[in-house]
C-alpha cells in the first residue's frame, strides 16, 4: 500500500491490511471528491497508480459526459444523505468503459469529514445474470446458429453446380421454368439462413442521433416495389424528432413490420405508419387493414420459429424483438380478426436518467 503525505489519514495497521486485501476498489476522499488514498483494488480496476490518483478529483474515473452533472449530483447526495448507492459508467485509464456499482458513504473522522467510495465492477455480474436468465434461449441460439452454418455450405455447392449444369446443357422452355423455380427456392433458403445468422449474432447497436422521418423512409423504401406491385396504399405521418438509436437496425425493424403487413394484404389494402411522442417514449406504429392475428397466437408471435403462415420461417418478429431489446425499448401488438393489426415500437426519448441530466443542487435551491 502506498503511503501518502497527509495528516487526514491515520489508519491502524490492521485497517491498512484490510484495504490491501480487498479485491474491490476502495478510495478515501475529501468531501469535495479529492482522492486521498486508493487501495490496490482501485489500481487494478482503473489502471491508475495509487500515487498518481492521490490529490486528483474522483471525477477522473467518470466518463466525460458524466463529469459535470452526474458526478456533481453524487457528491451533493452524499453530503445530503450520507449514503448513496448508484450504478454508473466509469472509465479505465486505457479508455475502456465499464458498468460499476458505486457505494458512497460520508464518514465523520476525528480529524474531519471523509468520503468513502467502494466500487464494484458489475459488467461481468450483469453478463452472468443475463446468461442464467436466458440459458434456455441461449441453447436455442446455439442450435439455430449451427443449423444456419450447416445449411449455408451445401446451399452454395448446390447453387454453383446447378448453374454450371444449366449453362452447359441445351435447355427447353420447360427446363427454364424448372431452373427458375429451383433458383427462386434456393434464394429463399439462403435468405432464411441469413436471417438465422442475424438472429443468432446480431450486430451491436451503434447509437447516434437520427431523425425519425429518415428512419421511416429507410424502412418503407425496402418494400416499396412490393407495395406498388400489390396495390397497397401506404400512409405516413411521423412527428419529426431526433432520437439516439441505431438508424439501420430500427429501419430494419420497421421494414420487417412493413413486409409482414404487405404479406397479410393479399388483395390490396392500406398500411399506416406513424410516429409520435408518448412520454417517456417515442412510438413508431405500423398498422394494416389485413385479416388480423388470432388472439391465441399473439403471445407466441415473437418466439423464434413460430409462424401462422406455411411459407414463413417465423424468424422476422424474433429479430424485431431482439432489435428492440438492444435499444432498451419494447414492442407491443394489438390485433382484431378481420379488422387488422397494429405493432407499436417504443424507443426511449431520453437514455440518461435524471441524475445524469439535471443538477440536483440547483433544483433544490430553485425550489
DSSP letter string over 85-119? Answer: EEEEEEE-TTS-EEEEEEEEEEEEETTEEEEEEEE
Closest of 101, 104, 103 to residue 126, by C-alpha:
101
| 3 state SS of 333 | strand
CA distance 156 to 165: 14
Cell of 157: 455447392
Q: Would you state the pLDDT for residue 5?
A: 47
Q: What is the mean pLDDT of residues 223-245?
A: 90
What does DSSP say about strands 340-348 and 330-336: parallel, antiparallel, or unpaired? antiparallel
Q: What is the mean pLDDT of residues 64-77?
A: 93
Q: Would you state the pLDDT for residue 90?
A: 93
Would the pLDDT of 126 be above 70?
Answer: no
Would the pLDDT of 171 be above 70?
Answer: no
CA distance 334 to 117: 48
CA distance 123 to 132: 14
Q: What is the mean pLDDT of residues 189-207?
A: 80
pLDDT in tens, 29-65: 999 999 998 999 999 999 999 889 999 999 999 999 8
pLDDT in tens, 278-306: 988 999 999 999 999 988 888 888 887 77
Res. 3 pLDDT band, cuts 50 70 90: very low
CA distances from 202 to 97, 245, 268, 316, 326 (A): 21, 15, 33, 13, 9
pTM of the model: 0.56
Q: Which residue in this structure is represented by grid cell 423512409?
A: 217
Would the pLDDT of 366 be above 70?
Answer: no
Write the CB contacts of 190 (distance below 8 Å, at least 6 apart in sequence).
152, 155, 159
CA distance 277 to 275: 7
CA distance 97 to 16: 29
Would the pLDDT of 134 be above 60?
Answer: no
Element (H, E) at 228: helix 224-229
CA distance 117 to 41: 12
Q: Would you state the pLDDT for residue 137?
A: 55
Cβ atoms 119, 101 nearer than 8 A: yes
- 89 vs 139, which has greater pLDDT? 89
Percent of the residues in the chain that have a pLDDT greater than 90, as a whole number? 42
Mean of all residue pLDDT scores within the chain:
83
Lowest pLDDT segment from 113-122, 144-153, 261-270, 331-340 = 144-153
Burial class from Cβ neighbours inside 10 Å (0-12, 13-18, 19+) for residue 129 reads exposed
Would the pLDDT of 353 be above 70?
Answer: no
Q: What is the mean pLDDT of residues 111-115?
A: 88
Would the pLDDT of 136 be above 60?
Answer: no
Would the pLDDT of 333 be above 90?
Answer: yes
Neighbours of 19 (CB within 10 A): 19
Q: Would you state the pLDDT for residue 197?
A: 76
% helix / strand / coil in the chain, to the nearest 5?
45, 25, 30
Burial class from Cβ neighbours inside 10 Å (0-12, 13-18, 19+) for residue 180 reads exposed
Amino acid at each position: 500500500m502506498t503511503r501518502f503525505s497527509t495528516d487526514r489519514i491515520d489508519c491502524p495497521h490492521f485497517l491498512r491490511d484490510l484495504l490491501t486485501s480487498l479485491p474491490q476498489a476502495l478510495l478515501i476522499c475529501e468531501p469535495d471528491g479529492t482522492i486521498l488514498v486508493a487501495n490496490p483494488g482501485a489500481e487494478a480496476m482503473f489502471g491508475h497508480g495509487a500515487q498518481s490518483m492521490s490529490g486528483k478529483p474522483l471525477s477522473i474515473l467518470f466518463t466525460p459526459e458524466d463529469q459535470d452533472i452526474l458526478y456533481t449530483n453524487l457528491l451533493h447526495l452524499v453530503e445530503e444523505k450520507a449514503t448513496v448507492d448508484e450504478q454508473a459508467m466509469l472509465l479505465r485509464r486505457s479508455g475502456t468503459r465499464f458498468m460499476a456499482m458505486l457505494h458512497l458513504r460520508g464518514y465523520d473522522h476525528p480529524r474531519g469529514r471523509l468520503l468513502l467510495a467502494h466500487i464494484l465492477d458489475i459488467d461481468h455480474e450483469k453478463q452472468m445474470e443475463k446468461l442464467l436468465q436466458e440459458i434456455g434461449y441461449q441453447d436455442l441460439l446455439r442450435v439455430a446458429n449451427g443449423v444456419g452454418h450447416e445449411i449455408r455450405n451445401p446451399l452454395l455447392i448446390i447453387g454453383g453446380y446447378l448453374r454450371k449444369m444449366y449453362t452447359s446443357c441445351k435447355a427447353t422452355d420447360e427446363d427454364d421454368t424448372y431452373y427458375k423455380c429451383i433458383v427462386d427456392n434456393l434464394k429463399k433458403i439462403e435468405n432464411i439462413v441469413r436471417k438465422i445468422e442475424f438472429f443468432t449474432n446480431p450486430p451491436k447497436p451503434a447509437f447516434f442521433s437520427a431523425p425519425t422521418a429518415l428512419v421511416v423512409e429507410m424502412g418503407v423504401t425496402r418494400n416499396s416495389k412490393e407495395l406498388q406491385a400489390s396495390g397497397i396504399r401506404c400512409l405516413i405521418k411521423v412527428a419529426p424528432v431526433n432520437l439516439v438509436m441505431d438508424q439501420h437496425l430500427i429501419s430494419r425493424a420497421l421494414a420487417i413490420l412493413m413486409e409482414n403487413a404487405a404479406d397479410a394484404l393479399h388483395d390490396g389494402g392500406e398500411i399506416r405508419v406513424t410516429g409520435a411522442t408518448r412520454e417517456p417514449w417515442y412510438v413508431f406504429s405500423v398498422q394494416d387493414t389485413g385479416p388480423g392475428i388470432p388472439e391465441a397466437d399473439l403471445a407466441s408471435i415473437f418466439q423464434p420459429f413460430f409462424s401462422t403462415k406455411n411459407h414463413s420461417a417465423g424468424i422476422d418478429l424474433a429479430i424485431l424483438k431482439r432489435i428492440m431489446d438492444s435499444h432498451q425499448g419494447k414492442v407491443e401488438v394489438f390485433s382484431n380478426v378481420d379488422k387488422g393489426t397494429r405493432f407499436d415500437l417504443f424507443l426511449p426519448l431520453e437514455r440518461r436518467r435524471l441524475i445524469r441530466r439535471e443538477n440536483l443542487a440547483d433544483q433544490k435551491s430553485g425550489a
